[in-house]
């Protein structure tokens, strides 16, 4: 027992042991199960606990729609088959139901429950303020978000977040399979990874601190000891604009990999990951694809266009002084890729090197360009990535070239000083990806409890 | 193409297409692989990229120790077998090596690489300031943490974080298997879940905001639409004390489950999860168990002791006015459980109901007690959990009883008002669990880049 040292027994354990007459023990063997479809076999019976999603009396009998954590089931109640009253059974109550499972091709999943017993577990204080049991809520987004804890009881609304779980799981499964290590890095930091004014500051024990804009510095540091890392964690951007594509707190799917030959290695890894993710969703989240109407794209060969070419394509010669893509450019380029290459994805590469971030490696063949890429999907940038600078002197030089002071980045530069292999990586905005897969018009719908310039509640 | 509407093609795509002569495409088929042990088959040859962990010239030949993302491999260089010079090969450089794999029982994994070609990829600006290639760094914790990006290149140091990945993966695999949904909830909030002064505040667009002390409110809300949820995410506590068991930012492994009969359902779920996690670690993380010397516990039947009994046991009659366990009590109770029940785990339940949190359900049989539990392991509380109040009126009453104002919790209480099933859950401190499994004396060693009252960097 090496974990307990120099402990003197105080009190009188032997005598006091008598006080505890029957010592209860927890074995971990008696687990409550959550309902899944495999539990509902026609011809057999089952007992489940669920929320009453809808109650429809039909005169002599009643339809009871039950909502479990993932499914919506049809049940039929008739006093002939069940001795219990349904007087208290209505939308929103919680109940325990024993039932026979019948085949019923017209019902969800081809099954219907014939209720044998029904018991109220708990009833809410008030009726739902929204049309939870309708196919769509039919309210404005603001009302939806103001009543989020109720709105998400609507099967269409909640399905987006079960689907989100699939996106995250597909990403993670692929990363682990390719021997990336999952890491957790601090969000309270002494400096932001992206610089600029778009950063939240806080008081950290009388010190000035910030909420990290990306795990960039830490995942680069981790490449030196794990070669390949990924992180799934919140990212903070204090952007003041209120658009349909920005959140102030979102989930970043980040990875970083060492020993690359160029940023194409990172791009290849992303495309292979997306292929895996889409297959994963089709295999495990068919239910949510059906409910949300998500369109799972074919991830084939993805065309690559240089920023300079992209700008010519969108703006002709007038685009000469542009340093970034506008939202309209992203829409245009995706339309172009669809029409000319039959794909919903397009990479834009080689952005101007004068632009942040300072950690992007300049192209040796044309130092006006950085080895940086965006992946566009259905009209929206869903990824930013690239090859990073690994050489210490080169990094110091670029920090200076962007009018920053290397002394402000001492800890960050230690990784470079003591050696980093050539490396690169990317960050994917989870909510943007989900939004585009499902076809939601506003990114707030893809965030369970969104944070924007006006919204800090619920 | 429903995602693009009312877009007019600008520019002249057909003509400009000519500009892009050879369109590069990314297929996702050409993936760089990270080295794993199955790549090293005796009798075969391989090429890998790795960090030179150690270089030991022996007169006529040399031992080169290679560090990959997970393994440390022995290689032998002799000019007879390899035409390349090793003049630039030394500790800390990155190299590409082609080699024949030989059986060698005295080397790690029973294999040795006989180098055929070696090429420098990159060399750092400076030599390591720490003894990275020694079994242990042998420096103070402060020096370790100040030089974290180098310290973690030591195989013993980094193994703790690969092991951490296993703890997280084992938790997650079990949760998904039991049909919990993985969720992501905001960390910027309008009010903390735990109340009190231990909270970081920040300016959120001229509004007062906080960093969440736990996902409690949000996971309770989510029980109403997913029945069972879990989250793996940072948690913030602005605790001013500097102890070996507190971090100001840590990773919480949280779950919450609906339709329970009592808090024992939550405790059972935890013990089953821990059994799964320990099996998962033994199966997939044997390498890190070996390196760190982690002691994987037998999770058998876990004894349960009421708070009142626990206090009697530790303090005798003098403990009458105690409202919580001291660190020494936790050590004592674990020693007691080990000696009397042969286990390293013990549950303490039924804490005084006058104590926060206000969401803990009071015991109906004895309202002086709350249905709250701690799980102690190897002398430390690693979990706090319990049954929560689901009834609206009961929750309002308890908020008032704890001298708080229900009007401050309007959004939180909406879940109760519109109905929550009976539910409960828990939160596990990831770093505490890892620290105790590995036997680290200080929790900072279990955090990749720890945050404490004095430490905001790196």
Q: What is the pLDDT of residues A289-301, one digit of tens each?
A: 999 999 999 999 9
- Please give the mean pLDDT across all residues of chain A: 94
User: Above 90 in pLDDT, residue A390?
Assistant: yes
pLDDT of A331 > 60? The answer is yes
Position A350 in a domain: yes
How far is B98 from B115, CA to CA, in rounded Å? 6
Distance CA B50, CA B179 (A): 40
Angstrom distance (rounded) from CA A313 to CA B235: 46
Contacts of B378 in chain A (CB under 8 A): 3-4
Would you call B302 and A26 a contact, using CB atoms and an 8 Å cutoff?
Answer: yes
Residues A237 and A168 in one domain: yes
Which chain A residues are closer than 8 Å to B327 by Cβ? none
Residue B19 is nearest to which of A203, A312, A335, comparing CB atoms?
A312
- Name every chain A residue with its beta carbon within 8 A of the beta carbon of B265: 32
Are A186 and A103 within one domain?
A: no
Do A71 and A166 sit in the same domain of this protein? Answer: no
Do residue A254 and residue A389 come from a single domain? yes
The total of other beta-carbon atoms located within 10 Å of residue B346's CB is 23
Clarify whether residues A165 and A103 are in a common domain: no
**B12 lies in some domain:** no
Residue contact B421–A391, C-beta within 8 A: no
- Shortest distance between the Cα of A92 and any Cα of chain B, in A, equals 7
User: Do A31 and B272 lie within an 8 Å CB cutoff?
Assistant: yes
Bridge partners, A377 (sequence order): A345, A380
- Nearest 5°: the CA angle A401, A404, A409 is 120
Disruptive mutation site among A12, A16, A26, A376 for chain B (greatest number of B CBs within 10 Å): A26
> Are residues A159 and A269 both part of a single domain?
yes
Minimal CA separation from B21 to chain A, in Å: 11
Q: Do A122 and B422 touch (CB under 8 A)?
A: yes
Cβ-based contacts of A9 with chain B (< 8 Å) = 332, 335
Note the pLDDT of residue B5: 30
Q: Quick check: A69 and B11 CB within 8 A?
A: no
Give the count of Cβ contacts less than 8 A between chain A and B: 458
Same domain assignment for residues A210 and A160: yes
A51-90 pLDDT per residue, tens: 999 999 999 999 999 999 999 999 999 999 999 999 999 9
A138 to chain B, minimum CA–CA distance in Å?
Answer: 18
| CATH number where A88 lies | 2.40.50.140
**A8 within some domain:** no
Q: Which of A165, A182, A457 faces B181 most closely, judged by CB atoms?
A: A165
Contact A222 B93 (CB under 8 A): no
- Cβ separation B201–A201 shorter than 8 A: no
B43 to chain A nearest CA, in Å? 24
Bridge partners, A106 (sequence order): none
Residues B388, B343 share a domain: yes
Same domain for A287 and A199, yes or no, is: yes
Q: Is the CB of residue B315 less than 8 Å from the CB of residue A10?
A: yes
CB within 8 Å of B432: residues ≥ 6 apart: B245, B250, B380, B381, B382, B443, B446
Range of the domain at B391: 155-446
The CA-based angle B169-B175-B179, given to 5 degrees, is 140
Among candidate residues B122, B141, B170, the one where a domain is terminated: B122
In a domain, A312, yes or no: yes
Distance from CA of A103 to the nearest CA of B (A): 24
Indicate the number of domains in chain B. Answer: 2
What whole-number distance in Å separates Cα of residue B383 and Cα of residue B428?
5
Contact A201 B203 (CB under 8 A): yes
- pLDDT tens, residue by residue, A355-386: 999 999 999 999 999 999 999 999 999 999 99
Contact criterion met (CB < 8 Å) for A312 and B259: no
Pair B163, B242 in one domain: yes
A226:B421 CB<8 A? no
Closest Cα of chain A to B22: distance in Å?
10
Taking an 8 Å cut-off on Cβ atoms, the answer to whether A7 and B390 are in contact is no
Residues of chain B with pLDDT under 50: 1-18
Structural domain contains residue A145: no
CB A453 within 8 A of CB A248: yes
Q: Which of B28, B11, B37, B385 is nearest to A275 (CA)?
A: B28
pLDDT single digits (tens) A32-60: 999 999 999 999 999 999 999 999 999 99
Which residue among A34, A257, A336 sits closest to B179, beta carbon to beta carbon? A34
**B288 domain residue, yes or no:** yes
Q: Residue A88 corresponds to which tokens in the numbers above? A: 């208290």
Claim to verify: residue B53 and residue B202 sit in the same structural domain: no
CATH of the domain at B425: 3.30.930.10
- Do residue B272 and residue A28 have CB atoms under 8 angstroms apart? yes
Within a domain: residue B110? yes
d(CA A209, CA A89) in angstroms, rounded, equals 52
Q: Which chain B residues are Cβ-neighbours of A188 within 8 angstroms?
A: 200, 211, 236, 248-249, 451, 456
The whole-angstrom distance between A62's CA and the closest CA on chain B is: 22
Q: Do A347 and B26 touch (CB under 8 A)?
A: yes
The pLDDT, as a whole number, for residue B25 is: 97
Q: Judge: A251–B184 Cβ closer than 8 Å, yes or no.
A: yes
B299 to A28: CB separation less than 8 angstroms, yes or no: yes
Shared domain check, B114 and B239: no
Q: Give the distance from residue B94's alpha carbon to the nearest chain A alpha carbon, in angstroms.
A: 6
Stretch A199-209: mean pLDDT, rounded? Answer: 95
As given in the structure block, the two tokens for residue B248 are: 């100001």
Last residue of a domain, one of B122, B142, B175: B122
H/E element holding B119? Answer: strand B111-122
Provide the pLDDT for residue B336: 96
- Residues of A within 8 A of B173 (CB-CB) are none
Spell out which residues of chain A touch residue B168, defining contact as CB-CB under 8 Å: 182
Under an 8 A CB cutoff, do B11 and A391 touch?
A: no
Q: Point out the domain boundary residue: B79, B104, B122.
A: B122
Nearest-CA distance B213 → chain A (Å):
14
> Does some domain include residue A10?
no
Task: Give the nearest partner residue to B7 out of A233, A236, A335, using CB atoms.
Answer: A335
- Asked if B302's CB is within 8 angstroms of A228's CB, the reply is no
pLDDT, position B23: 87
Give A382 to chain B, closest Cα distance, Å.
Answer: 15
């Amino acid at each position: 027992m090496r974990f307990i040292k120099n402990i003197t027994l105080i009190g009188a354990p032997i005598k006091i042991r008598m006080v505890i007459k029957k010592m209860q023990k927890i074995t971990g063997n008696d687990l409550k199960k959550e309902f899944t479809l495999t539990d509902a076999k026609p011809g057999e019976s089952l007992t489940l606990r669920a929320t009453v999603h809808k109650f429809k009396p039909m005169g002599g009998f009643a339809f009871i729609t039950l909502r479990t954590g993932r499914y919506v089931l049809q049940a039929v109640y008739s006093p002939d088959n069940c001795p219990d009253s349904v007087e208290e059974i209505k939308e929103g109550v919680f109940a325990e139901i024993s039932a026979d499972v019948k085949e019923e091709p017209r019902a969800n999943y081809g099954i219907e429950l014939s209720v044998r017993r029904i018991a109220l577990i708990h009833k809410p204080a008030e009726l739902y303020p929204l049309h939870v049991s309708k196919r769509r809520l039919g309210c404005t987004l603001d009302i939806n978000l103001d009543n989020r804890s109720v709105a998400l009881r609507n099967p269409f609304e909640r399905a987006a977040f079960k689907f989100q779980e699939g996106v995250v799981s597909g990403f993670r499964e692929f990363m682990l399979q390719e021997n990336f290590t999952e890491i957790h890095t601090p969000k309270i930091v002494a400096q932001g990874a992206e610089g600029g004014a778009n950063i939240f500051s806080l008081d950290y024990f009388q010190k000035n601190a910030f909420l990290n804009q990306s795990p960039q510095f830490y995942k680069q540091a981790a490449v030196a000891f794990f070669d390949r890392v990924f992180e799934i964690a919140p990212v903070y951007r204090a952007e003041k604009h209120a658009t349909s594509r920005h959140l102030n707190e979102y989930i970043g799917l980040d990875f970083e990999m060492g020993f690359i030959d160029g940023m194409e290695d990172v791009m290849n890894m992303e495309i292979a990951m997306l292929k895996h993710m889409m297959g994963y969703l089709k295999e495990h989240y068919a239910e949510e694809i059906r409910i949300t109407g998500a369109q799972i794209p074919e991830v084939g060969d993805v065309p690559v266009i240089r920023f300079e070419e992209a700008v010519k394509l969108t703006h002709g010669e007038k685009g000469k002084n542009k340093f970034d893509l506008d939202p309209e450019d992203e829409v245009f380029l995706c339309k172009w890729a669809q029409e000319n290459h039959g794909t919903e994805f397009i990479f834009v590469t080689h952005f101007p090197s004068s632009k942040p971030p300072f950690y992007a490696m300049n192209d040796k063949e044309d130092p006006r360009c950085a080895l940086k890429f965006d992946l566009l999907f259905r009209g929206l940038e869903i990824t930013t990535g690239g090859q990073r600078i690994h050489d210490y002197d080169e990094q110091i030089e670029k920090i200076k070239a962007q009018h920053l002071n290397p002394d402000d980045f001492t800890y960050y530069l230690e990784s470079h000083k003591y050696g980093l292999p050539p490396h690169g990586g990317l960050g994917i905005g989870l909510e943007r990806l989900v939004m585009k897969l499902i076809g939601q018009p506003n990114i707030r719908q893809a965030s369970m409890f969104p944070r924007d310039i006006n919204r800090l509640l619920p």
